[in-house]
Structure 1
Amino acid sequence: MNWTAIWAIYRFEMARFVRTFLQSIISPVISTSLYFVVFGAAIGSRIDEVDGISYGAFIVPGLIMLTVMTQAISNASFGIYFPKFIGTIYELLSAPISFAEVILGYVGAAATKSLFIGVMILITATFFVDLTVQNWPAMLAFLVLTCTSFALLGFIIGIWASNFEQLQLVPLLVVTPLVFLGGSFYSISMLPEFWQKVALFNPVVYLISGFRWSFFGMADVPVMVSLLAIAGFTALCVLTVWWIFKTGWRIRA
């Protein structure tokens, strides 16, 4: 394993993160604060508690998941697309490094960025609501797995995209709606029975449910099912990236 190459890619991507401090860190924190103000004031005044949990605290895991997913995809997709756009990806492909080392560098950096932002939002939430985490190891496990899996998804999107508009297509038209419909701001048990069954086909439900369980000890679906869902999604993304590098799809052409 060429750790020097991995570190070089990782350090380059993290340097870009620092250069865009306002966009990368301040913007998500401000957006999250606005969610607390709007949802806490508008909806929280009508919904005091959900399953014995104050509504303001209840939406924290959903807000973290929403931001972490979109940030992981955005950072990873742009990180690999930009070398394609300016042509420097051929230097990367001709370097004596394996595809695994390329993935570790780019995906590792994107996952680290989104993890840092997730922690920042968690800290910000404590200024608005009384929040406790019942199971820190589970919370960190779900957070790291989500950051990693969606960074892998972003890496795939960055390779697939042929222009900058396509980089935002999946996050805006697929991921964000799935998060909003996946119980980020409500429990699916509050839905009519038919729509509860429909919601179970939304993969994001399992991520948010498991992550919320680590905070409050309550979940819409069994925790082991949530873990299997995120593990399966991560494995699928890894296999897809392996196939991309094996075939050279959208890389060598």
Structure 2
Amino acid sequence: MNFTAVGAIYRFEMARFFRTITQSLVSPVLSTSLYFVVFGTAIGSRIEEIDGVSYGAFIVPGLIMLTVMTQATSNASFGIYFPKFIGTIYELLSAPVNFLEITIGYVGAAATKAMFIGLIILITSFFFVDITIAHPLAMFAFLFLTCLSFALLGFIIGIWAGNFEQLQLIPLLVITPLVFLGGSFYSISMLPPIWQNITLFNPVVYLISGFRWSFFGTADVPIALSLGAISLFTLLCMTVIWWIFRTGWRIRA
């Protein structure tokens, strides 16, 4: 393992994050604060509790998941797409660095950024609602695995994308709708039976449910299924990345 190369990629990506701190950190926090104001106040005044939890506190895990999924994907996709765009990817590919080291550098930085933003949003939520974390270690584990898996997905998107429009296509048109329809602002038990069954085909449901369980001890699906879903998704993304570097798809053309 070439730790020097991994560290160089990681530090470069983290430096870019801090150079654009307003866009990278302040913007997500402000957006999440607006969600608290709109959903927590307007809707929360009509929905007092869900599963014994105040509505304002109930939406906290969903808001964190919404932010970290989109941020991890966007950061990782842009991180690998930009070297492709300016042509420096070939210098990286010709260096004595294997695909695992490249992936760890870019994906590790993107996951770190997303997790940092997620923790900042968690701290921000304490200013709006009274919240208690029932299983702190499980919360950190779910947060880390979510940031890692979606950073891997973003890495794949960055390699696939042929322009900046495609770079934002999947985060905006796929991930964000799946999060909104995955129980981020409601419990799927509130849906009619047929829609509950349909919602179970949404993979994001299992991530949000497991993360919410770590806060309140209640979940829409069993925790074992949540862990299995995120582990399978992570393994699938890693397999796709291995195949991309093995074949050179979209990176050597």
TM category (shorter chain) comes to over 0.9
Give the Å deviation of 1:138: 0.7
Distance (Å, rounded) in 2 between the aligned partners of 1:41 and 1:103: 42
Distance (Å, rounded) in 2 between the aligned partners of 1:37 and 1:63: 12
Q: Deviations over 1:69-96 (max 9, x none)?
A: 0000000000000000000000000000
Q: Deviations over 1:178-226 (max 9, x none)?
A: 0000000000000000000000000000000000000000000000100
Q: Deviations over 1:113-132 (max 9, x none)?
A: 00000000000000000011
Give the Å deviation of 1:252: 0.2
Of all paired residues, the percent bearing the same amino acid is 78
In the other structure, the counterpart of 1:89 is 89
With structure 1 as the length reference, what TM-score do the two structures score?
1.00
In the other structure, the counterpart of 1:43 is 43
Distance (Å, rounded) in 2 between the aligned partners of 1:120 and 1:168: 24
In the other structure, the counterpart of 1:76 is 76
**Helix, strand or coil at the partner of 1:226:** helix
Distance (Å, rounded) in 1 between the aligned partners of 2:58 and 2:166: 33
Q: Which runs of 4+ in 1 moved over 2 A?
A: none
Distance (Å, rounded) in 2 between the aligned partners of 1:43 and 1:189: 18
In the other structure, the counterpart of 1:225 is 225
Q: Deviations over 1:121-165 (max 9, x none)?
A: 000000000011000111011000000000000000000000000
The alignment status of 1:154 with 2:154, answered yes or no, reads yes
In the other structure, the counterpart of 2:175 is 175
AA matched with 1:123: I
Distance (Å, rounded) in 1 between the aligned partners of 2:180 and 2:97: 40
**Helix, strand or coil at the partner of 1:186:** coil
The alignment status of 1:67 with 2:67, answered yes or no, reads yes
AA matched with 1:207: L
Distance (Å, rounded) in 1 between the aligned partners of 2:129 and 2:41: 12
Distance (Å, rounded) in 2 between the aligned partners of 1:205 and 1:104: 27
Give the Å deviation of 1:41: 1.6
The residue correspondences of 1:171-210 to structure 2 (distance < 5 A) are: 171-210=171-210
In the other structure, the counterpart of 2:236 is 236
Aligned residues: 253
Distance (Å, rounded) in 2 between the aligned partners of 1:45 and 1:129: 13
Give the Å deviation of 1:40: 1.1
Distance (Å, rounded) in 1 between the aligned partners of 2:203 and 2:69: 13
In the other structure, the counterpart of 2:106 is 106
Q: Which 5+ residue runs of structure 1 have no aligned equivalent?
A: none
In the other structure, the counterpart of 1:250 is 250
The alignment status of 1:132 with 2:170, answered yes or no, reads no
Give the Å deviation of 1:242: 0.2
With structure 2 as the length reference, what TM-score do the two structures score?
1.00
In the other structure, the counterpart of 1:18 is 18
Distance (Å, rounded) in 2 between the aligned partners of 1:40 and 1:80: 37
